[in-house]
Amino acid sequence: MKPWITIVASLLLVLSGCKDKSEKPASQTKGQAPVPEVRQSEAGRGLLHIETEMLRDVKITTAPVEERPGGEGMVLLGELHVNENTYAEVGPPIAARVLAVHAASGQSISSGQPLATLQSTELGKTRSALITANARLELARQTLERKRRLSSERIVSQREVQEAEAEASAAEADLRAARAELQALGVSISLDDSSDSSQFTLRSPIAGTVLERTAVRGQLADPAQPLFRIGDLSNLWLTVQAFERDAVRLKPGFPVRTALAALPGRTFTGKVGLIGKQVNPQSRTIPVRVDVHNDGGLLRPGMSASAWVTPGTDAPKILTVPAAAMQRIADDWVAFIPRSPDTFEIRHVGRGRDLGSEIEVLSGLKTGETVVVDGSFLLKAEADKARGEGEEHEH
């Protein structure tokens, strides 16, 4: 009987091992990616759980649900530019060679800060002419003073005094002409300066950021081409094109909210600064300038942007989220609310109007709640995957 007992015991061990393997979760199977899990929260809302190693490959950013002026508005597309009131192109006043460069692209500079040191033979000649004219004037004045003294002693004639006076006047005129020529070149000089008279320093006329620098050491600079482009980026101009029917409803000072595709979830405040006076005959649009506050210095000239403008300020408030925060699962619109580093609530949301880079929220969210923006599409994909896995297990 003992051999039979041994055989039965062996069979029981084999069956037990098979059962353990069959009950092992698919997410823990060696060599397979973990499957996301959807559970029900106490409030009946879905909770999406993502494995930590999977989140390492997903960029997650969030944004708060915000309150905006409602009413009938318009979305206008355009491009950011520098504020021309705080912009300067700096180049040499005369042909010159660059000896040294003191500022780099992207550098913040103050008004009057040196940008480059240059050398010009033409400037050397003009400065030499100024020094010579000054020396002639000093000599003419000394001669005139001496002859006036001798004339009082009746040693020289009055005619010689008059000739000395004429010579002094001519020397003064030559000095003024030399100074004017030097000022026309945009260069100042001190007559007591013993440095190289052919060199001069190019300085920034405004405070701001060096947007572009084309100056390099040894370069022969042309007065027609700027060596530096400088602008104050704290406020930028957004130029948008508005159709005639929209432009006539706008007024300077109307509030504007600006959003950029490069910065999802971020909005920037501004106001209508200028409305064009002429209609483009091809597009039937009118250019509108929006003054945008560059909070945090994130905006760059050349970026494309959209502006949401609401004429008037009496409209009721509405809730909005970034457009990328809303995703569609089955027949419902949802947003993902972070609950922990690896758990997200799937919140059903009532979707309203499309406001350009933002979506109006009719229900499901409250002001100040945080929603996922970047990464929401991947969370939707994982939720769909988990939903599909759940349906298969039910069958």
- Domain shared by 106 and 160, yes or no: no
Domain count, the chain: 3
pLDDT at residue 342 in the model: 84
In a domain, 173, yes or no: yes
- Domain shared by 221 and 336, yes or no: no
- Domain shared by 225 and 175, yes or no: no
Query: What is d(CA 264, CA 42) in angstroms, rounded to the nearest whole number?
Result: 32
Question: Which domain range does residue 111 map to?
Answer: 98-115+198-231
- Domain shared by 381 and 328, yes or no: yes
Average pLDDT, the chain: 80
- Percent of residues, the chain, with pLDDT higher than 90: 28
Q: 171, 196, 221 — which closes off a domain?
A: 196
- Domain shared by 109 and 141, yes or no: no
- Domain shared by 50 and 107, yes or no: no
Higher pLDDT, 20 or 149: 149
In a domain, 7, yes or no: no
Residues 6+ apart with CB under 8 A from 71: 310, 311, 312, 314, 315, 316
In a domain, 251, yes or no: no
394 pLDDT higher than 70 = no
pLDDT at residue 68 in the model: 74
291 pLDDT higher than 90 = yes
Query: What is d(CA 113, CA 103) in angstroms, rounded to the nearest whole number?
Result: 9
346 pLDDT higher than 50 = yes
pLDDT at residue 13 in the model: 42
Q: Express each pLDDT in 247-281 by its tens digit.
A: 888 889 888 888 888 887 788 888 999 999 999 88
Average pLDDT over residues 290-295: 91
- Domain shared by 150 and 170, yes or no: yes
- Domain shared by 130 and 61, yes or no: no
- Domain shared by 151 and 205, yes or no: no
The CATH number that applies at residue 145 is 1.10.287.470
The CATH number that applies at residue 391 is 2.40.420.20
pLDDT at residue 315 in the model: 59
In a domain, 224, yes or no: yes
In a domain, 79, yes or no: no
pLDDT at residue 385 in the model: 82
pLDDT at residue 55 in the model: 76
Q: Express each pLDDT in 150-169 by its tens digit.
A: 888 888 788 888 888 898 88
In a domain, 51, yes or no: yes
Q: Which of 67-76, 167-176, 294-303, 330-339 has the lowest mean pLDDT?
A: 67-76
Q: Express each pLDDT in 47-77 by its tens digit.
A: 888 877 777 777 788 889 988 766 667 788 8
pTM of the predicted structure, to 2 decimals: 0.57
Query: What is d(CA 333, CA 363) in angstroms, rounded to the nearest whole number?
Result: 11
Query: What is d(CA 225, CA 236) in angstroms, rounded to the nearest whole number?
Result: 24
Q: What is the DSSP string of 20-80?
A: HHHTS-GGGSTTSPPPPEEEE-TTS-EEEE--HHHHTTS---EEE-EEEE-SS-EEEEEEE
In a domain, 145, yes or no: yes
Average pLDDT over residues 352-376: 86
Residue located via tokens 């059903």:
348
Angle at 114 between CA 110 and CA 117, to 5 degrees: 165
**CA distances (Å), origin 127, targets 51, 81, 192, 292:** 75, 40, 12, 46
In a domain, 327, yes or no: yes
